[in-house]
Chains A and B, each alone.
Chain A
Amino acid sequence: MVQTAVQTGAAGFLHRYEGLRARLPGQGLPWLAALRERGIAAFRAQGLPTRRVEAWKYTDLAPVAQAAFEEPLTAVDGALALPRAAAPKRVVFVDGRYRADLSDAGAPVRSLAAHLPAAEGLLGSVARIDDVPLAALNTALFEDGALIDLGPGEDGGVVEILSVTLAERPVAVHPRHLVRLAEGAKLVLIERAWGHGGSRALHSPVWEFSVGAGAHVTHARLQQEAAASLHLATTFARVAAGGTYDSFLLHAGAKLARSEAHVVLAGPRAAAHLNGAQLLADGQHGDCTTFLDHAAPDCPSRQTVKTVLSGKSRGVFQGKIHVHQVAQRTDGYQMNQALLLSDQAEIDSKPQLEIYADDVKCSHGATVGALDETQLFYLRARGIPEAAARAMLIEAFLQEAVEAVADETARAALAEAVAGWWEKVA
């Protein structure tokens, strides 16, 4: 059989799996080999999503489908220029692989590749591969990732996970991160996706969170990848009774970024916060998509997502809240706001409520518009130059979103990323 040298789209990924299969970590573990086979079968059945799929109506994966990705190099030695750490303890992944030499000791984070037997029963327990093709692909192809497993009542402190993508070549990395919090455990996780290089590299992580009863996890995601990069992240979280999944998503980098979250409130009084901000400059496409399942009674959920668009950028927000029939006394609130700073920008917003229980309080709101002229006028009347006044209003709009983050370290990291964004863009 003649093999084509370069394959793109779904075929490229399938081909890659065939080539890598024997070398992927954990081949000696039958459960994992079977899981990978299921993953690739599910991906083969679904293919790469196209805009004909409702959940992908506004985000075109053509840049991913058309690219011919390369393997990341086995190891990158020598010093890497890394951003300043945002938390006392930092763990670093380079092209999806754990780097002990760059990571702080003592963080409750292990390399998944090195501890695969410990992931049995956890890996794939929260992720949905049958209707989320990117999760299926990740299940087949992942090589490494973070493994965090906290015991009952354990406090994991504040941890930063830095994922560096070396986009000097068009690599594709599919890390898999697993986080399990037993009853009453606590963790603040700052996830930072960062990179350099000018190639069209793909970083497509999948997170699985299993949040135990009364456990509390903060998940702050800062996506600050290189300008030509593609970022497709999928997060799955399952929250037991009284537990909290408190997340914040910041999209600031990459050419095309989509973060998709699937959160299930599985026990009574489980809570979720799915907040976020997207800062999109010329040429960027940012997509924040969330699916929130209220599957138990008495659960509150809160969501505020803000998008600022300048130049020829496109922002997408899709938020679906599904309230099951058992989920009586649900209290759901969702807000998304977009600020358009240019006449070439486009925002597409689809908040969605699907409700099957009657004793519920659910609402959503959406606003789209330019900067308020009267506010601008007010500032200018007080002698503030127009550019400064604009910057001030944009910053205020964004900081308001960041304020929703309760943890100070995480909030500070986000606030820093947001501060001065407009000055850099303008």
Chain B
Amino acid sequence: MPAVTETIDAVQSVTQGTYKYGFETEIDMEFAPKGLNEDIVRFISAKKEEPAWLLEWRLKAFALWKTMEEPRWPAVSYPPIDYQDAYYYAAPKQTVKPKSLDEVDPELLRTYEKLGIPLKEQAILAGVEGAGETPAEGGRMPVAVDAVFDSVSVATSYKERLAKEGIIFCSISEAVREHAELVRQYLGSVVPQGDNFFAALNSAVFTDGSFVYIPKGVKCPMELSTYFRINAKSTGQFERTLIIADEGASVSYLEGCTAPMRDENQLHAAVVELVALDDASIKYSTVQNWYPGDENGKGGIYNFVTKRGACRGRRSKISWTQVETGSSITWKYPSCILQGDDSVGEFYSVAITNNRQQADTGTKMFHIGRNTRSTIVSKGISAGFGQNTYRGLVKISPKASGARNFTQCDSLLIGDQCGAHTVPYIENRCMTAKVEHEATTSRIAEDQLFYCRQRGLSEEDAVGLIVNGFCREVLKELPMEFAVEAQKLLQISLEGSVG
């Protein structure tokens, strides 16, 4: 295949290129040197054996990034990030792994237990030595003995089934190699390299992520999830996901891991791009539970993510559902560009901030096509010293006649030290469009709490019950297996916020 030949040539030229820049001795190392410069970008591209066009694409992103400033407008505060004091390419951490579950932080295990995660999975998530590999020898705990959680084969068996339908589901690196034309056509078409500071950074140094292509008329027979893949391969801090649903196709995609990863990478700057053609629909669900930092706000993940979907085709639909309970700082606005006539965009979100967590999240709905419709339901919960901001934009262009938007933003405050903020922007330039927005802020009503306590529920359980009720509209949008875990997560996230 000419494409392949071209790829091989490109890889060779890139590899030779990097030698020229003095990486010959380090090319086999597990990580690139600290810092970020053009050489690092070249190094990553070479390490991933990418074609020349992608290297050029990354370099352009890097050049743009250098001219950009970190956004200061979100209602979050954190010490300045030193972008030169980080590794941009590193193999999975080679620190000393715990030998058994005995050595794992009991607090972490308690959380896993509450989530109902089987022991062997707990071991994998906690990074117990040998846990994720096929029969490990000589472990003291059962995890090491029967840890036959062969995620690779699980993924493969699904892959075969998907392949029968013509569905492509693989890592983005693999897609670059094997489906170069598709990647080249769509990568950056929704979130261009220079879109924003973090997207530019991601475009320059992304190391992993998923690629999905659903061919014409195919309804994906199962929920696709990064879950398996993450077990098979540790993802980097800069994920890049690209999902394309061709005409009449539909897919439901689940992102994230519902167990807290003790990720020491402070900065997560992912980019997700969705493209829906005529009559296609994409449902993208996220349960984000990265490490939120301790109760004093030490540690935790900075989750600076750009997610955007383009409803390019008529009657296409993109639906975002997110449950954000983790990360010390969340900066994320999954958006929809409703280009096709009669296309539909949805955003359902629950964001919880407890302790010192800060979240500035929301969505943007761009109505361009006629009769486009969008729905926004956002539930923010603040507890402890948490700060929670909904920030959203509904923009209706002059041509979007008959466009319709409904937005509902509710905030719940638990404790008098937290904050809840709502910043919606409505920009309408079309007479026949109709936009409705409503927002409320309140705390848990004393009478509701009293009623639950009277029936023997502990205060914490009562709050959990009420919060779940508050979030019901969003949780019901999640695929079932996710919804159950998300409910438990809400409760865990709010632990210690009452009483």
Contacts and interface: CB of A to CB of B under 8 A. Distances in A.
A366 B424 contact: yes
Interface string B416-450: 11111111111111111111111111110000000
Nearest to B388: A355
B442 A364 contact: no
Interface string A124-151: 0000000000000000000000000000
A343 interface: yes
Given A343-B430, A350-B423, A355 B441 contact: yes
Interface stretch (B46-54, B123-131, B277-285, B407-415): B407-415
Interface stretch (A7-15, A98-106, A334-342): A334-342
Contact of A368 (B419, B423, B434, B441): B434
Interface string A327-365: 010000000001011111111111111111111111111
B260 interface: no
Contacts of A352: 421-424
Contacts of B426: 347-350, 366, 368
B441 to A, nearest CB: 4
B78 interface: no
Contact of B421 (A325, A340, A355, A367): A355
A360 B443 contact: yes
Contact of A341 (B417, B431, B441): B431
Contacts of A342: 431
A426 to B, nearest CB: 15
B398 interface: yes
Given A340-B428, A340-B431, A347-B428, A360 B441 contact: yes
Interface in B334-353: none
Contacts of B425: 348-350
Contacts of A349: 425-428, 437
Q: Which secondary structure characterizes the binding site on chain B?
A: strand
A325 B382 CA distance: 14
Contacts of B422: 351-353, 364
B119 to A, nearest CB: 39
A369 interface: yes
A350 B424 contact: yes
A370 interface: yes
Contacts of A365: 436-439
Interface residues of B, number: 34
B389 to A, nearest CB: 9
B293 to A, nearest CB: 21
B423 A362 contact: no
Chain B CB within 10 Å, residue with most, of A325, A341, A346: A346
Contacts of A325: 416-417
A370 B442 contact: no
A363 B438 contact: yes
A408 interface: no
A352 B420 CA distance: 11
A54 interface: yes
B427 A353 contact: no
Contact of B443 (A348, A350, A359): A359
Contact of A362 (B73, B417, B419, B440): B440
Contacts of B429: 345-346
Nearest to A352: B423
B428 A368 contact: yes
Contacts of A344: 398
Nearest to A365: B438
B435 A363 contact: no
Nearest to B438: A365
B141 to A, nearest CB: 44
Nearest to A361: B442
A358 B443 contact: yes
A358 B435 contact: no
B404 to A, nearest CB: 9
Chain A CB within 10 Å, residue with most, of B418, B425, B432, B443: B425
Contacts of B398: 343-344
Nearest to A360: B441
B411 A355 contact: yes
Contacts of B414: 358
A356 B432 CA distance: 37
Nearest to B432: A370
A368 B443 CA distance: 29
Given A343-B398, A350-B423, A369 B413 contact: no
A347 B426 CA distance: 8
A328 B427 CA distance: 33
A351 B426 CA distance: 9
A375 to B, nearest CB: 14
A358 B437 contact: no
A361 B423 CA distance: 17
A137 B199 CA distance: 41
Nearest to B73: A54
A358 B418 contact: yes
Contact of B434 (A54, A353, A369): A369
A356 B441 CA distance: 11
B438 to A, nearest CB: 4
Nearest to A371: B431
A353 B441 contact: yes
Contacts of B432: 343, 370
B358 to A, nearest CB: 13
Given A354-B421, A357-B416, A358-B416, A364 B439 contact: yes
Nearest to A363: B440
B475 to A, nearest CB: 23
A369 B436 CA distance: 9
Contact of B433 (A54, A360, A364, A368): A368
Nearest to A58: B427
Nearest to A334: B439
A344 B435 CA distance: 17
B427 A362 contact: no
Nearest to A332: B441
A343 B433 CA distance: 10
A368 B435 contact: yes
Interface string B436-468: 111111110000000000000000000000000
Contacts of B415: 358
B436 A353 contact: no
A370 B401 CA distance: 11
Interface in B356-375: none
Contact of A351 (B418, B427, B439): B439
Contacts of A358: 413-416, 418, 443
B421 A353 contact: yes
B446 to A, nearest CB: 9
A367 B443 contact: no
B383 to A, nearest CB: 9
A366 B435 contact: yes
Contacts of A369: 433-435
Interface in B259-299: none
A343 B415 CA distance: 47
Contacts of B431: 340-343, 345, 370
Nearest to A330: B441
Nearest to A335: B438
A342 B431 CA distance: 6
A284 B193 CA distance: 38
Contact of A356 (B419, B434, B436, B438): B419
Contact of B441 (A340, A350, A362): A362
A184 B440 CA distance: 33
B85 to A, nearest CB: 31
A63 to B, nearest CB: 21
A385 B3 CA distance: 68
A347 B424 CA distance: 14
A351 B432 CA distance: 22
12 contacts: A325-B417, A340-B431, A343-B398, A349-B427, A353-B441, A362-B440, A362-B441, A366-B424, A367-B434, A367-B435, A367-B436, A368-B433
Given A343-B430, A358-B443, 4 more contacts: A343-B432, A349-B426, A356-B419, A363-B440
- Nearest 10 CB-CB pairs, A to B? A358-B413, A366-B437, A369-B434, A368-B435, A349-B426, A353-B422, A363-B440, A362-B441, A340-B431, A343-B431
